[in-house]
Amino acid sequence: MLLKSMFVPLFTAVPARGHPGKLSVCSVRNVVAQRCPPNCRQNGSSNTASLLLLHKLPPISAYIHLPFCRKRCHYCDFPIIALGSSSSNPGNDEDDPRILNYLETLCREIKATKLDSANSPPLETVFFGGGTPSLVPPRLVSSVLDALSYKFGVCSNAEISMEMDPGTFGEGKLKELMNLGVNRVSLGVQAFQEELLRACGRAHGVREVYEAVKIVKSCGVENWSMDLISSLPHQTLSIWEQSLQLTIQAQPTHVSVYDLQVEQETKFGVLYSPGEFPLPSDNQSAEFYRVASRMLRDAGYDHYEISSYCKSGYRCKHNSTYWKNKPFYAFGMGSASYVDGVRFSRPRRLKEYMDYVQNLEIGLTNCSEDDIFDAKDLAMDVVMLSLRTSDGLDLKSFREAFGDSHILSICEVYRPYVESGHVICLDGQGRTIAVNEFLSSFSNEFWRNEKLAYLRLSDPDGFLLSNELISLAFGAIAP
Ligand SMILES: *[C@@H]1O[C@H](CO)[C@@H](O)[C@H](O)[C@H]1NC(C)=O
Ligand SMILES: *[C@@H]1O[C@H](CO)[C@@H](O)[C@H](O)[C@H]1NC(C)=O
Ligand SMILES: *[C@@H]1O[C@H](CO)[C@@H](O)[C@H](O)[C@H]1NC(C)=O
Ligand SMILES: *[C@@H]1O[C@H](CO)[C@@H](O)[C@H](O)[C@H]1NC(C)=O
Ligand SMILES: *[C@@H]1O[C@H](CO)[C@@H](O)[C@H](O)[C@H]1NC(C)=O
pLDDT value for 92 = 60
Q: How far apart are CA 191 and CA 374, in angstroms?
A: 42
User: Using CA atoms, how far apart are residues 156 and 38, in angstroms rounded to an integer?
Assistant: 6
DSSP state of 441: H
Cβ 41 under 6 angstroms from ligand 2:
yes
Domain span holding position 147: 8-323
Residue 385 inside a domain? The answer is: yes
Q: Compute the distance from residue 23 Cα to the ligand 1 centre, in Å.
A: 6
Residue 293: inside a domain: yes
What are the φ/ψ torsions at residue 127 (nearest 5 degrees)? -130, 115
Q: Judge if the beta carbon of residue 225 lies within 6 A of ligand 4.
A: no
Last residue of a domain, one of 308, 323, 338: 323
Question: Cα(123) to centroid of ligand 2, in Å?
Answer: 16
Residues 392, 290 within the same domain = no
- What pLDDT does 114 receive? 85
pLDDT for position 55: 80
Helix or strand (DSSP H, E) at 290: helix 282-298
**3-state DSSP call for residue 8?**
coil
Same domain, 307 and 426: no
**Protein residue closest via CA to atom 1 of ligand 3:** 283
Q: How far is the CA of 470 from the centre of ligand 3 (A)?
A: 23
Ligand 3, atom 14, residue with closest C-alpha: 283
- Closest ligand 5 atom number to CA of residue 184: 14
In a domain, 358, yes or no: no
Q: Which helix (H) or strand (E) holds 337?
A: strand 336-339
Ligand 5 pocket residue status of 129, Cβ below 6 Å: yes
Q: Are residues 176 and 269 in the same domain?
A: yes
CB 462 within 8 A of CB 417: yes
Atom of ligand 5 nearest to the CA of 255: 13
Sign of the alpha-carbon dihedral angle for 398, 403, 404, 410 = negative
CB of 43 closer than 6 A to ligand 2?
Answer: yes
- Give the domain-ending residue among 287, 303, 323: 323
Q: Name which residue sits closest to atom 3 of ligand 1, judged by CA.
A: 21
Could you tell me if 303 and 432 lie in one domain? no
* 174 and 307 assigned to the same domain: yes
Ligand at shortest distance from the CA of 282: 3
351: in domain: no
State how many domains the chain has.
Answer: 2
Same structural domain, 467 and 319: no
- Ligand 4 atom with the smallest distance to the CA of 183 is 14
CB-CB neighbours of 439 under 10 Å: 12
CA 176 vs CA 31, 65, 70, 130, 142: distances in Å? 30, 20, 21, 19, 10
**Regions of the chain where pLDDT drops below 50:** 1-47, 87-88, 369-371
- Domain co-membership, 163 together with 227: yes
Contact 257, 285 (CB under 8 A): no
Q: Are residues 50 and 153 in the same domain?
A: yes
Q: Which ligand is nearest to the CA of 16?
A: 1
What values do phi and psi take at 337, rounded to 5? -105, 165
CATH of the domain at 161: 3.80.30.20
CB 432 within 8 A of CB 424: yes
Q: What is the number of the ligand closest to the CA of 317?
A: 4
Last residue of a domain, one of 281, 301, 323: 323
> How far is ligand 5, taken at its centre, from the CA of residue 408, in Å?
33
Between the CA of 255 and the centroid of ligand 5 the distance, in Å, is: 10
Same domain (yes/no): 316, 430: no
CATH of the domain at 406: 1.10.10
Per-residue pLDDT at 439: 76
Q: Whose CA is nearest to atom 5 of ligand 1?
A: 21
Query: Is 344 domain-assigned?
Result: no
Gap from CA of 22 to ligand 5 centroid (Å): 32
Q: Is residue 401 part of a domain?
A: yes
- To test the ligand 2 pocket, which listed residue (43, 48, 50, 117) has its Cβ within 8 A of the most ligand atoms? 43
Q: Which residue has its alpha carbon closest to ligand 3 atom 3?
A: 283
Q: How far apart are CA 422 and CA 404, in angstroms?
A: 23
Ligand 5: which of 7, 73, 127 to mutate, most ligand atoms within 8 Å of CB?
127
- Residue from 135, 62, 126 nearest 99 by CA: 135
Residues 151 and 82 in one domain: yes
In a domain, 176, yes or no: yes
In a domain, 232, yes or no: yes
* Ligand in closest contact with the CA of 320: 5
Give, using CA atoms, the residue closest to atom 7 of ligand 5: 9
309 and 398 in one domain?
no
Q: pLDDT value at position 332?
A: 98
CA 194 to CA 203: how far, in whole Å? 11
Local structure of residue 408 (DSSP, 8 states): H
Q: Which ligand is nearest to the CA of 78?
A: 5
Per residue in 361-415, pLDDT (tens digit) is 998 876 554 445 688 989 999 999 999 999 999 999 999 899 888 998 999 999 9
Together in a domain, 176 and 279: yes
Query: What global pTM score does this model have?
Result: 0.87
Give, using CA atoms, the residue closest to atom 5 of ligand 5.
11
Q: Does 183 contact ligand 4 (Cβ within 6 A)?
A: yes
